[in-house]
Amino acid sequence: MKKSLVIIIHHNTVQYTDPLYEMLKPYEREDYDLIVLDNGSDEGKSSKYTSVRSDENTGYGGGLDLSMRLLLEDPSYDSVAVLNSDLILHGYNCIRKLREQLFSRDDLMIVSPCVIQPTSNQCFWKAMHCWNAKEIRFIPAVDFQFVLMKREFVEKVKSFGSKYGWVQDMIAGFVCEDNGWKIGICDWIPIVHLENGTVRANPHLSDYNQKAQIEMTEYFRSKGLEERVKKLRNVYGNYKYEPN
């Protein structure tokens, strides 16, 4: 039986990673394997559930690329879920339900829960909000807070080539658009995102978002994608769900 590889990317935030692991572990059955990827944590700050370790902190983008490589190296997996550590998840059997959606259509390559933040300010990308849709919503790009990706998509992309991990949201949208694929959000499977939890918990990452913005700007400029990014950001950021 094919199954998903589910990876929590961890860096020095045991207070987030271990509870998240413990929320998911009881529902790990035949349909997924759950692991923690330690992304260069300092001594004494690794999760007790660590399965795979990087000797250096490669940023979220590097952790994402390593996660995709782990999928590609093992043919028993048909998909990979990559999670930020600073999430709260009470959607019991959420992986199973996400899998059901992901494999309900041949052209659906990525699914994600909707995202709620415990503040008055919500995720910048309105498409990620909870719109209380009763069926899967198709969106033009996706915020990589918790995504489940098909092997076919990962085989196409292989690597996003980003250290800080801000380019993949748009690149995923471009790849899916160019190949006639879709990205979906499940409003009935919510997650709570403790925004920038890893950055706030690590003073040495205080300039992370600034560096990520610079990397993203330079990346898309070097690829000649600035106009395409501008158009997609406008659609993605000003998204409004209109039920049928």
Structure confidence by residue, pLDDT tens digits, 88-108 = 987 678 999 999 999 999 999
Amino acid 208: pLDDT: 83
Element (H, E) at 37: strand 32-39
pLDDT confidence band for 242 (50 / 70 / 90): confident
Read off φ and ψ for residue 143, nearest 5 degrees.
Answer: -85, 125
Q: What is the pTM for the complete model shown?
A: 0.95
How would you class 64 by CB atoms within 10 Å of its CB: exposed for 0-12, middle for 13-18, buried for 19 or more? buried
Report the DSSP pairing between strands 108-116 and 146-150: antiparallel
- The pLDDT score that the predictor gives to residue 91 is 64
Buried/exposed 125-156: b ≥16 CB within 10 Å, e otherwise: bebbbbbebeebbebbbbbbbbbbbbbebbee
The pLDDT, as a whole number, for residue 118 is: 86
Of 4, 10, 6, 21, which Cα lies nearest the Cα of 53? 10
- Cβ–Cβ < 8 Å for 77, 5: yes
pLDDT reading at 1 higher than 80: no
Can you tell me the distance from the alpha carbon of 21 to that of 159, in angstroms, rounded to the nearest whole number? 25
To the nearest 10 degrees (0 to 180), the angle between helices 168-178 and 226-237 is 100
Integer Cα distance of 118 and 93 in angstroms = 22
111 burial (CB, 10 Å; 0-12 / 13-18 / 19+) is: buried
Q: How confident is the model at residue 120 (pLDDT cuts 50, 70, 90)?
A: confident
Give mean pLDDT, residues 26-55. 95
pLDDT digits 0-9 by tens, 218-237: 999 999 999 999 999 999 98
Written as six digits, the tokens of 203 are: 């003073």
Q: Do 31 and 3 meet the contact criterion of CB atoms below 8 Å apart? A: yes
Q: Where would I find the H helices in the chain?
A: 14-24, 59-72, 94-102, 151-157, 168-178, 197-201, 208-222, 226-237
Q: Which CATH code fits 3-237? A: 3.90.550.10
Average pLDDT, the chain: 93
- Residue of higher predicted confidence among 243 and 110: 110
Label residue 73 exposed, middle or buried (CB < 10 Å: 0-12, 13-18, 19+).
exposed
Q: How confident is residue 172, by pLDDT bands cut at 50, 70 and 90?
A: very high
**Confidence class for position 121, pLDDT limits 50, 70, 90:** confident
